[in-house]
Amino acid sequence: MAGSSKFQHSEMDHKALLQSDALYQYILETSVYPREPEAMKELREFLNMLLKLINAKNTMEIGVYTGYSLLATALALPHDGKILAMDINRENYEIGLPLIEKAGSLIRLILEREKYHGSFDFVFVDADKNNYINYHKRLIDLVKVGGLIGYDNTLWNGSVTVPADTPMAQYIRNSRGFVIELNSALAVDPRIEICMLPVGDGVTLCRRIS
Ligand SMILES: C[S@@+](CC[C@H](N)C(=O)[O-])C[C@H]1O[C@@H](n2cnc3c(N)ncnc32)[C@H](O)[C@@H]1O
């Protein structure tokens, strides 16, 4: 978890290499932040604000990749917060792990989920789009009443509104139908209130109400 004591530790680590915090900040400002794609920045800032607004403590992320949104989540949680993170590809996650550890995050990869029923404040889903509907069937029991599930990419590169024969990248075409199906299913699910946000590639927030 993000913790101030761990941050102090990481500051000391990079100081040893770089002599000063100012130099580290300089690297971030000159070569990291300016290259962060706008959609990723938007998503990072949005997640941060949202998690703080709902006082999230116990969260889950499905689809970690190298841990970008995972780190954004970890930085917004309180010191005793938790993230249950899952990805089918461990290699990508291990590329990002040193950076996440440096920021003082703790990730636990746990597969059995029965004991977590109704226990999550927030779940972020950014994995295989063809399974979003299946995730929803399970996640609705895992998130607490009043908690949120966020589905990323629900505008799917804008493809959800264009005619099916519009030229588009194959990976967009492959999942377009699944995303449209998800959006329709969420719209009529009486267990949730939904809000579709034009953030990044579209994030649908579902608040469990029953
Ligand atoms: C778009 S990336 C996630 C990006 C990450 N949320 C971020 O913002 O940094 C999608 C990830 O979903 C993972 N994934 C695909 N199918 C999955 C599955 N069935 N279960 C868990 N993860 C899966 C992929 O391995 C990939 O790392």
What are the Cα distances from residue 198, in Å, to 7, 151, 194?
32, 12, 13
Nearest CA to ligand 1 atom 5: 64
Query: Quick one: tokens of 7?
Result: 């941050």
Gap from CA of 63 to ligand 1 centroid (Å): 3
Percent of the chain topping pLDDT 90: 50
pLDDT recorded at residue 99: 64
Q: How far apart are CA 21 and CA 33, in angstroms?
A: 16
Q: Answer for the pair 186, 192: CB distance below 8 angstroms, yes or no.
A: yes
Instruction: Choose the residue to mutate in 47, 83, 126 for probing ligand 1, maximizing ligand atoms within 8 Å of C-beta.
Output: 126
pLDDT at 72 over 90: no
pLDDT digits (tens, 9 = 90+) for 119-147: 999 999 999 999 999 999 888 988 999 99
Q: Answer for the pair 185, 133: CB distance below 8 angstroms, yes or no.
A: yes
The finding on whether 200 has its CB within 6 A of some atom of ligand 1 is no
**37-208: CATH class:** alpha beta
What are the Cα distances from residue 202, in Å, to 43, 45, 49, 91, 179?
9, 14, 16, 27, 11
Confidence (pTM): 0.82
Nearest CA to ligand 1 atom 18: 88
- How do strand 143-152 and strand 82-86 relate by DSSP bridges? unpaired
pLDDT at 112 over 90: no
Domain extent listing, the chain: 37-208
